[in-house]
Amino acid sequence: MFEQIKRMLNFDNVADQQQKQAEIERILAERSKEAVILSDNINENNFVGIGGTITEISETSGSIDKEQLPAESIIKQTQPVYDIQTSTEVVGWPNRESQFYFYSNIQRYIPHGDSILEYGAGRGDFNQWYESTYQQKQDYLGYETNTELVDAGRKEYDSVDIVNKNWSKIKKSTQKDWCINIGACNFQYDKAIKDHTKHLKETIKNMMTHCKKGSVIMFQSDAHKDLPKGFIGYNAGEILGWAIENFEYTALDHSAGDGQCYLVIYKNV
């Protein structure tokens, strides 16, 4: 199974993923100036990854006859084209190297072998990264609202456990050693949310009700004023003060210098 995981996500060599993307771009350039969307329902959820709206293409063995295609199945090549089952962009990372960097930052706060409940799990990539990196099974459960990402994860990983529901719907009886949130509150996925700081605090409270040992939350600092459109920054001092007042055993780490804050809250110390 680990070899299958490595093959699908190219864990062994980030350069391989970059080479694959370059090859896709070359193929697109040879296919005139348009590409075929295989999944025309992805955009109905208004899910946007870094770089633009998500679309998907497949390999073909010949040129595309545009006249034989319905108008709604053609897009301009200038739009980013991503594979929902393997692309890092569709789950919010610019590349595989960046994705694994943040995963390793989160994991350093958690003892190996502890169980995980992930908020905003995407395809379940964190679970597959952990099992491939450390060559051991992980007791893992993820919650993700985007149906296309959940379906993609279930296709790619035969063992991943992801629930296609909002994390506010987690059953009260669900408990894992650690709850993690790897930047899932850094982007405005839900347009109905107006007060993002309030939403982050409510999410943290929810996480603390479902963890046995603690929670780790990665969020973007508002010290960066040039955030891309749609990205959310938070006042780190306010979040830390609120967490200490409510949970007491709390630490905030921003030593990585990557613009992200890592809030670690321990339970029953």
| In contact, 127 and 116? CB cutoff 8 Å | yes
Q: Strand (E) positions, 139-259?
A: 140-143, 162-163, 176-182, 211-220, 250-253
* CA-based radius of gyration for the chain: 19
Note down pLDDT in tens along the chain; length 269 residues.
444 434 444 444 445 555 545 554 544 444 333 333 223 333 333 333 333 333 333 333 444 454 554 555 444 445 566 788 888 888 888 899 999 999 999 999 999 999 999 999 999 999 999 999 999 999 999 999 999 999 999 999 988 999 999 999 999 999 999 999 999 999 887 778 889 999 999 999 999 999 999 999 999 999 877 888 888 999 999 999 999 999 989 999 998 777 899 999 999 76
Q: What is the pTM of this model?
A: 0.70
The residue with tokens 């709206």 is 53
Q: Which domains does the chain have, with CATH numbers?
A: 2-89 (no CATH), 92-266 (3.40.50.150)
In the numeric block, which tokens belong to residue 139? 């007791």
